[in-house]
Structures are given as structure tokens and as C-alpha cells.
Amino acid sequence: MSASKKEWRQARWSEPLVYEIGDPQKTGVILPYLDELPKLAERVGARPQGKVFREDTPDLPGLSEVETARHFNRLAQMSYGVDVGPVPLGSCTMKYNPKIFEEIVRDPRIKFLHPLQDEDTVQGLLEMLYLLERWLAELTGMDRCSLQVPAGAAGELAGALMIKKYHADHGEERDEMLVPDSAHGTNPASAAMAGFKVVRIPTSSRGTIDLDALISVVGPRTAGLMLTNPSTLGIFEDKILEVAKYIHDSGGLLYYDGANLNGIMGIVRPGDMGFDIVHLNIHKTFAAPHGGGGPGAGVVCAKGDLVDYLPRPLIERDDNRYFWNYSCDKCIGSMRIFYGNIVPLIKGFLYIASLGGKGLREVAIQSVINTNYFITLIKNAKGYELPYDPSKPRKHEVVISAKPLLNETGVSAGDVAKALLDHGLHAPTMYFPLIVDEALMIEFTESEPLETIEEYANTLKKIAEQAYTNPGKVKEAPTSTSVRRVDDVYANHPKTVTPTYRVYLKRLRGEIK
Amino acid sequence: MGSSRPIHWAPSSSDRDRSRALSVMGISDVFELYRDVPHNLILDEPPRVGFGKILSEWELRLTVEKFLSKNTVYIDPPPFLGGGWCPHLVPALVDYIISRPEFLTAYTPYQAEINQGLMQALFEYQSLIADLVELDVVNASMYDGSTAVAEAFLMALRVTKRRKILVPEHMHPEYRRVVETWLYGKNALLVPVKYDEHTGRVSLDDLESKIDNETAAVYVENPSFLGSIEEDVEAMADAAHKKGALFIVKFEPISLGLLKPPGRYGADIAVAEGQPLGSGLNYGGPGLGIFAVRWDRKLVRQMPGRIIGLTRDAEGRRAFAMILQTREQHIRREKATSNITTNEALMAVAAAVYLTLLGGRGLRDLAQSIWLRSHYLAKRLSEVGVKAPVFESEFFKEFTARFPKQYKAIHVELKKRGILGGLSLDRYWPEKSNECLFCVTELHSMKHIDKLVEAISEVIKQ
């Protein structure tokens, strides 16, 4: 008898909080060289005392090693990642994370290196980072890259600050950043952090940027345009060269949000499209894992005059010696301490090293095949529709709408997402981009085999069928996950919001109302 | 196009699967899927990256070996280098847990029901940090200590609608550069506060003379970059609060096993580099930005970053959810409190595992062990003619030492003896070329410390 996916069940442990099982006196670590303590105390001849020191022991619950292992393993069993099943979150590029990379980054010759140790003792690592920088510049069509930024959004902030400083240095007061209405939320947020006013550009019925609307707002106050290409609809901006020309002619700069690079990597380069600054997400496109929200690694690249503005230090070579160059006449400064999130960066290096240019191109093509294969399977399915020019091929991702389903059955995109969980499939990104009602934004990446894509499309159809016959049943989902539908209102209500166990106890004691 | 075998990690890229997919789609050439891309933009050939061919795991391993063999690792003794990033014990279980695929390969838990375990782990992280610093609200998480400080400053500007921030003049120089970068768009003003030449502590007089009604925040590092533990923190908090400014404290997490937590002496925001809590060295990244805030609606509403909260499910059982998301970029766009989305969640889980393994008692024992070892090194150095510590004040794991000659030359000699010494302060202050900053932790045995001292004694006699 073969197991059916319908019987998927997630672990349901009712695992207590560590506070409910731990004890401050318990510990799971034997500290090194404890036998030396009496002798050390004697030699030092003093002990910590004075008003800055505490008398009490921190009130933190401890567990033995075996109890800690079980506690967190049970929590892991109530979680879900790419190694469990598909996670087709659109714009998140949830690829498979190769295990060989995990093994290599745990080598002591990476793991035990101190960021401030002498450069002559880390030449091998610097050489890898140097090659990574060259490769990323080549892939994006840029001159130089800074590996310093810790995530994509930090890369956007770096880019926005570079644009700001560039215009300031040229004596221009340009305070408007153009951002399409289909953009990732980080784009307007980053522009605002850099002190820009955000001007929203609408999307045309073709699913690309509305060129007329763009032309009507471009002017002497335009600092730049932040754009993803392909867009969050998965559609390539076919007028990108005209867009770039309008922006450049008005004195503005073009910023490329690299979150959507996967489907065109090695085929088309942002630099050739006219972009001046690019950020990449090593944790998306270059297969470093997301870790439940991070660490990621962003990289920000620039060409021409804008190289001077990149965050420092940059990795450089001088006669076969590799070193960090901190020189900064015009640069914006540093986005974080030291050089970047080295562990994910090395995984990015290993990914490019494994695949080479030809392999990366095949990756891009396969991700686009997967998207369009899925579209073919789903496009005539009852309850769903494909907004914006269905005749256009999508690239890394596709956005479908469950609006017909909602109108005809009352079952929403959110309900569909929860129902998918009951089949052991992670939901797509939902309700994004904001320009699509009842949006389900799906990105399989090249990692998913055709069979998984078929299963996913079939499950979406099955859920729609059930919505037409028994909508109440769909709205009950999920029932197979470790908890039932989570109460977001209770979670956020001022009278019940509880961000820590400390607040939980204060509420119990009536100290917070 | 394509080949008989699939390429790495793209299981349906074989000719067989591709032709099946193409025939279902009704197209004959994959480049039809790029028909909307202007032709002149499409590269004639694949970019020249990598090593010119696809590498198997074995070939990759051998290729990498050539690079890694050029690195030198210091384990016995471990580096005496710090600068806010010191070698610490990472229990094997910490790395084991964060290698669990359900954590490692997960995305941000946007689907709460299928990611309760991850959310509970992050809630526990927030709760443990809250109890460590004695402040009620903690996010999960910022990128590192330096960006946590930058976000704290940006938050103070929003909360107070003022533009001045008082910072110690001997603030961590790398943090200062990061903060200035992040504040570039905001027309903020960083005002340096003097430090006492003898104690290395922030001058309370100078601080009080510079604080005014335009001051958004007073920031202190405790311990300071050069190691001094601040004593007048309560007076600083009072001075800040009297003028309606926020008091922001950067702390060292393990030191709170011995030192009073910032929440006890009036901090409104407490930030830290969480690297000591199970992240390891990793040549400086990833780190973990710790960010904690006092329970105050006005403050919490302006907090950056992701927060997990306790709630219930449809059957009334305990559950976890992302809370207060209306502060975040995916909802508020340009009105968000920060642009952060990807953060250091996995390192936050590592910190939760680490703190659970230690427990309160273990943390106190650890802090005591570090305190004794750093003081042992200082004492031994002063026995061989080195001024250590330079400042007359309490210190925890990092402290400065002044040598009779340039430290850099000594450093080179130490390296020849297999010892990675301290951080030469001329990196940041040319006039401090005779000084270095040492870091001593639980990983340094008496033998390690003796070895360092003997080598220094030998070198300075030369």
C-alpha cells in the first residue's frame, strides 16, 4: 500500500516553553579549564565588586544537553523548509541548498578565522572573495561589487544612499525616488530611509511599467528609479532600454533590485539594460539557505563613476596579494562592521564555482521552464485567473489571482494558502504584489522537479473544486499542521499582545493591562 | 541546449524532462520563453564565471582545498584579538540544531501554522534576551551590533523628532562609520562626548553640558570599546530623561552574568552584538544584532524588525504569530519603521540554544571565568613591564595595554611564535601606536596566557 500525500501530518508536540521546563541552576555545558579557577582567583587576588556588578544570578532557565537537544529538535519538527517540501514563495527564490556547501563552510580554516587577523594569514579566503566579486561583476555587467551588505534590503539602502550622495556631490537637489507600484516593499522603505520622497509609478495593462506615467513624472527632481526586472509579476520589462534612456536623460540613476534575477541570470545582464547600481541576494539566487529569515548576504555592485560610492572596504589584489581597500573619497561609508556575511558569501562562491557560466544559464532557463510549465497546467483551472497579458511568458515567477474563487465561493487566496499546508505543501507568497487582487505569487525555481509542479497544480485545482462544493471545509484549514489557524487579532490586540515571556508573566500578575 | 543528464540541483533539466515540458507547453525552443526580451540584450554565450566547467562535489572539494590551505588558523592558543568580536565556545549542539533542515532551509515564517517550532524558538530567543537585559520587548533580529546601533539611533530620531545624538568620542570606530552611513539621509548630528583620560569612562560633566532640548538620545557603550565599564550609568540615564532624550546602551551579552543589566539602570533601548552567543568567528559574519526596548507603546510602535508574539489557534491552544507587522515594510512600504526583512534569525535560534544550554548559573560561571582570565593576563603583563590595563577602571574581557615600543613590531614577533596577539590601536588612532586591545575569554587557558606573556616579555627585551 503506498502512502498518500493526503495523509500528511506535521508533528504536534505541545512542546512547553523552555521557561516551563528549565531551571536557572541547570546547565548543559561544561566550561573549559574550570579546574584553573581557584588558582586564577588566587593569582588575581581580587574579585568583581562595586556598584556596577550584580549580586544575583540572571533569571534564565537552563537545561541539560540532552533536554536542550530534544526541546529544539521537537521545535524543528514543527517547522518547514525546502528540505521538507516545496516552498514556492514568490520573489523569495527558495532553492535547494546543496549540502556540500554546509560541510565546506564548517572547515576550521573558515570558521575559526578572526575578522581582524592579519591579511597575510587569510590569503586563501580573500582570494575566494576576490573571485566571487569578479564573478558577480561579470554576471551583472557592473565594474565592481561590495560584498559588505548583510541582506538585500541593506543593499537597497546602500544603493539609495549612493544615489543621494552622487547627486549631492554634483550639486543637485534631487529628492524624488521613483518606485513602481509592483515593487517589493523594501524598495520604498529603503528610499525613505535614505531621505527620499517616494513617487509611485503605475503598472500598465501589459504588466510592465506604464511608460507614459513614468515620462510624466520624470524631471529635475528625479534622483532615480528603483526597479526589478523581471517585475514581481514575473514579466520582463521589454521597454527597459527606453526607460533607462528617459531616466538618464533627465539626470537620474537606475537601481536594480536583484531579488528577481534567477530567471535571466547568465542570459541578460542588468548592466547592459542600463542599470547603474545593482544588488544581489546570495541567499536567493546563489543557493545560500534562508535560515528561517536569515542570515542572508547582499552584494551591491556599481559601474562607472558610481564605483567610488560603493560601501567600503572592497576586496582587491596587488601582485598576487589580496587585501581590503578602505580608501574612501566619495564612498557612502560602511553598511555593517567588517566585510560582510562571510558564511553565505562563501556558499555563493561555491555555487558559482560548481556551475560555471554555462550551468548558471541552464539554472535560469530551467527556472523559467518550471514557471511556464506550471502556468500551462493551471491557466484554465476554475477559480483562478492569470492577470496581465496571459500571452506573455513569465520568467522566475508568476502571479495568479484567486479572485474568481472568492467571488464565486467566498474562499480567499488566504484560505487556499492554508489549505495547501494540509497537503504538506508550503503556500505561495499571498496578497502580493498589491496590484493583484487575491494574489498568489509562485516561484518554483529550478529546484522543483516537474512531478512536484504537477502535484502543486493538481492540489490547487482540488482545493478550488472543494471550494465550489464545500467552501466551509476549505475555510477550516489547516488541520494537519501542528496548530490550527492562528489568531492574528488576539496576537496583536493591545490588551493581549505578548512579545516575550516576561510580558506574559506581567500580564498574569496584572502588571500590564 | 540541455544535456542527457540534469545539471546540479535542477532535477528536470535533462533533455528528456525538458522535451516533455516543452511539448506540454506547445513550444519547440526554450528561447521562445525569452521572446519578449530585446534581442540585443541576450548574451551570445554564457558569462565567464567559475572555473570553466561544471564541478562535481569531489572536484569542488579539491578546488577549495587549494584556497583554504593558504589560511592560518589560531586555535592553541586562540586569538587574543577582539574589537567586539572574540573567540568563544560554541557548543556542538548549537551548530547541530541550526543545521536542522526545518530551521536552516526555512523562509521567514509567513505561514505561521506550518512553522510554529521556528516561531517558538524565536519567541524563546526574544524572551531570554528580555530577561537577560531586563527590558520587555525584543525583536528577532538586526544584522549585527553596528546596525542595531544605527537602527536604535534612527528610532530615537523618529520617537523624539529631534536630531542630535550624544556618542562617546571613543565609540567603536567601525560602529561609528556604520552609524554615520545609515544616518546620512536623515540630517542627524552626532555629538562626541569626552572620556576621562584616567578611567576611560565617559565624562558625566561633559555629557551633562552637551545634552539639550534638541537631543534625541544619549548613547553609551558598556563596556566601552577600549574596555572600561561605566559606573555613572544611572546618572546618565537621568540626564537623558530629564531632557526628554532616550538612553541607548550597547552591552556585551555574556558580561551580564556579572554586570547589572541595562534595563535596571534606565536604558530605553539596549543593543548588542550577539556573536558571543553561539555564532562563532566566521571571519566576521554572520553576527546577530540584539535589539531590546522598554515596554512603552510610543517606543514599541517605532521599533524596527520582526517580532514573534504569543497567541492562540482556532481551538484555543497556545500558538505563535508574527506581531505588530504594521510597522514593517511589506505592509507600510515607505512609512515602515525600517526596510529590514531578511535578518539573522538562525543566529537568534543559535543564541536561544546557547543560553538554554548555559542557564542563568552557567552564564554567571562563564562571566566569572572570563573576568578572572582577562584580569590574570593584565596582571601578568604588568609584571613584565607592560601597562595593563591602561585605564584605571573595571573591565570585562577586553582591555588595552601600553608597551614600551610600537605594538605592531611586537605583533609580528608574536605571530612568528604562533600567537595571534591583540588589535593594534593605530588602526584607528595613529597616536596610540604603542597600545593594543586584548580580548581574553573562557577559551584561553592559563598556559595560553602564560605563553603570550612569556613571548611578549622576550620580545620587548630584544
- pLDDT, one tens digit per residue, over A288-313 is 999 999 999 999 999 999 999 999 99
**Domains of chain A, each with CATH number or no CATH:** 19-31+58-72 (no CATH), 104-355 (3.40.640.10), 356-488 (3.90.1150.10)
Do B451 and B385 sit in the same domain of this protein? yes
Q: Do B241 and B222 belong together in one domain?
A: yes
- When pLDDT is averaged across residues A390-409 and rounded to a whole number, the result is 97
In chain B, the residue whose alpha carbon lies closest to the alpha carbon of A328 is B177
**Smallest Cα distance from B142 to chain A, Å:** 10
CB contact under 8 A, B341 and A152: yes
Distance from CA of B160 to the nearest CA of A (A): 17
Choosing from B297, B325, B354, the residue where a domain stops is B354
* Contact call for A335 and B181, based on CB within 8 A: yes
Same domain assignment for residues B23 and B129: no
Contact call for B38 and A365, based on CB within 8 A: no
List CB contacts (< 8 A) between B63 and chain A. Answer: 353
pLDDT value at A4 more than 60: no
What is the model's pLDDT at position A513?
A: 78
A271 → chain B, closest CA residue = B41
Distance from CA of A243 to the nearest CA of B (A): 13
Q: Is B298 near chain A, with CB under 8 Å? A: no
Residue of A39, A359, A432 with shortest CB distance to B7: A359
Query: What is the average pLDDT score of chain B?
Result: 96
Residue A3 pLDDT > 60, yes or no?
A: no
CB-based contact, B92 to chain A, within 8 Å: no
Q: Which residues pair with B309 in a beta bridge?
A: B321
**B359–A26 C-beta distance less than 8 A:** yes
Contacts of B374 (CB under 8 A, 6+ apart): B395, B396, B397, B398, B399, B438, B439, B440
Which chain B residues have a beta carbon less than 8 Å from that of A165? 184
What's chain A's average pLDDT?
96
Q: How many domains does chain B have?
A: 3
What is the band of A46 on the pLDDT scale with cuts at 50, 70, 90?
A: confident
* Per-residue pLDDT at A2: 44
Tell if the CB–CB gap between A292 and B38 is shorter than 8 Å. no
The answer for B 196-225 residues in CB contact with A (under 8 A) is: none
Nearest CA in chain B to A478: B113
Nearest-CA distance from B199 to chain A in Å? 14
At residue A483, does pLDDT exceed 50?
yes
Interval A150-188: pLDDT, tens:
999 999 999 999 999 999 999 999 999 999 999 999 999
Three-class DSSP labels, chain B: CCECCCCCCCCCCEHHHHHHHHHHHCCCCHHHHHCCCCHHHCCCCCCCCCCCCCCCHHHHHHHHHHHHCCECCCCCCCCCCCCCCCCCCCCHHHHHHHCCHHHHCCCCCCCHHHCHHHHHHHHHHHHHHHHHHCCCEECCCECCHHHHHHHHHHHHHHHHCCCEEEEECCCCHHHHHHHHHHCHHHCCEEEEECECCCCCCECHHHHHHHCCCCEEEEEEEECCCCCECCCCHHHHHHHHHHCCCEEEEEECHHHHHCECCHHHHCCCEEEEECCCCCCCCHHHCCCCEEEEECCCHHHHCCCCCCEEEEEEECCCCEEEEEECHHHCHHHHHHHCCCCCCCCCHHHHHHHHHHHHHHHHHHHHHHHHHHHHHHHHHHHHHHHCCCECCCCCCCECCEEEEECCCCHHHHHHHHHHCCCCCCEEHHHCCHHHCCEEEEECCCCCCHHHHHHHHHHHHHHHHC
Contact A96 B9 (CB under 8 A): yes
B345 Cα to chain A: minimum distance (Å): 5
Q: Percent of chain A, pLDDT > 90?
A: 97
Give the full edge-to-edge strand order of the sheet including B189-193: B137-138, B289-293, B269-273, B246-251, B215-222, B164-168, B189-193
**Which residue among B42, B54, B174 sits closest to A355, beta carbon to beta carbon?**
B54
Decide if B73 is inside a domain: no
pLDDT digits (tens, 9 = 90+) for A209-265: 999 999 999 999 999 999 999 999 999 999 999 999 999 999 999 999 999 999 999
pLDDT for position B58: 98
pLDDT at residue B419, as a whole number = 98
My answer on whether B230 and B344 are in the same domain is yes
Side-chain-facing half-sphere of B87: CA atoms under 13 Å:
26
Chain B contact for A415, CB < 8 A? no
Q: What's residue A1's pLDDT?
A: 41
Asked if B390 and B305 sit in the same domain, the reply is no
Q: The domain that contains B442 carries what CATH number?
A: 3.90.1150.10
A267 in B contact zone (CB under 8 Å): yes
Q: Are residues B38 and B129 in the same domain?
A: no
Number of A:B CB contacts under 8 A? Answer: 746
Please write the tens of the pLDDT for every residue from B9-67: 999 999 999 999 999 999 999 999 999 999 999 999 999 999 999 999 999 999 999 99
Confidence of residue B96 (pLDDT cuts 50, 70, 90): very high
Interface contact A21, partner B, CB < 8 A = no
CA atoms within 13 A on the CB side of B343: 30
Q: Is residue B86 part of a domain?
A: no
Inform me whether the C-beta atom of residue B166 falls under 8 Å from chain A C-beta atoms. Answer: no
Q: List, as ranges, residues 364-423 from B with C-beta within 8 Å of A.
A: 364-366, 368-369, 371-373, 375-376, 379, 394, 411, 415, 420, 423
Q: Is the Cβ pair B184, A496 closer than 8 Å?
A: no
Note if the pTM is more than 0.95: yes
Chain A residue with CA closest to B448: the answer is A33
pLDDT bin (cut points 50, 70, 90) of residue A98 is very high
Cα dihedral sign for B445, B448, B450, B453?
negative
Query: Has residue B127 been placed in a domain?
Result: yes
| Residues whose CB falls within 8 Å of the CB of residue A395, separated by 6 or more in sequence, listed in order | A230, A234, A235, A236, A260, A263, A264, A367, A368, A371, B33
Chain B residues with beta carbon closer than 8 angstroms to that of A426: 111, 114
Flag whether B297 is in a domain.
Answer: yes
Q: What residues of chain A lie within 8 A of the CB of B376, using their CB?
A: 40, 43-44
pLDDT band at A6, cuts 50/70/90? low
* Rounded percentage of chain B residues whose pLDDT exceeds 90: 95
Which residue in B has a C-alpha nearest to residue A364's C-alpha?
A: B10
Q: Which range of residues forms the domain containing residue B289?
A: 92-354
B42 and B152 share a domain?
A: no
Q: Confirm whether B346 is domain-assigned.
A: yes
Which residues does chain B have within 8 Å of residue A39's beta carbon, measured at their own beta carbons?
A: 446
Contact A490 B286 (CB under 8 A): no
User: If you measure CA to CA, which chain A residue comes closest to B158?
Assistant: A193
Question: Are B112 and B237 part of one and the same domain?
Answer: yes
Mean pLDDT value across residues A318-340: 96
Domain CATH number, residue B113: 3.40.640.10
In this complex, the residue of A238, A336, A372 whose CB is nearest that of residue B146 is A336
**Same domain for B291 and B167:** yes
pLDDT band at residue A5 under the 50/70/90 scheme: low
- Report pLDDT for B55: 97
Mean pLDDT of A27-39: 97
Question: How far off is chain A from B213, nearest CA to CA, in Å?
Answer: 23
- Say if residue B344 is in the same domain as residue B385: no
DSSP three-state, residue A68: helix
Select from B354, B374, B389 the last residue of a domain.
B354
- B312 and B384 share one domain: no
pLDDT score of B331: 81
Enumerate the residues of chain B whose CB falls inside 8 A of the CB of residue A330: none
Single-letter code of the amino acid located at A245:
K
User: Which residues of chain B neighbour A485 with C-beta distances below 8 Å?
Assistant: 113, 313-314
Q: Coil, helix or strand for A488?
A: helix
Cis peptide before B141 (omega within 30 of 0): yes
Question: Are B340 and B366 in the same domain?
Answer: no
Q: Model confidence over B119-137: pLDDT tens digits?
A: 999 999 999 999 999 999 9
The reported pLDDT for the residue numbered A328 is 95
Cβ–Cβ of A500/B341 closer than 8 Å?
no
Name the residue among A336, A338, A114, A150 with its Cα closest to residue B86.
A114
Task: Write the pLDDT tens digit of every residue in B163-214.
Answer: 999 999 999 999 999 999 999 989 899 999 999 999 999 999 999 999 999 9
Q: Cβ B178–A273 below 8 Å, yes or no?
A: no
Residue B1 has pLDDT above 50, yes or no: no
B359 touches chain A (CB under 8 A): yes
C-alpha cell at A35: 579546574
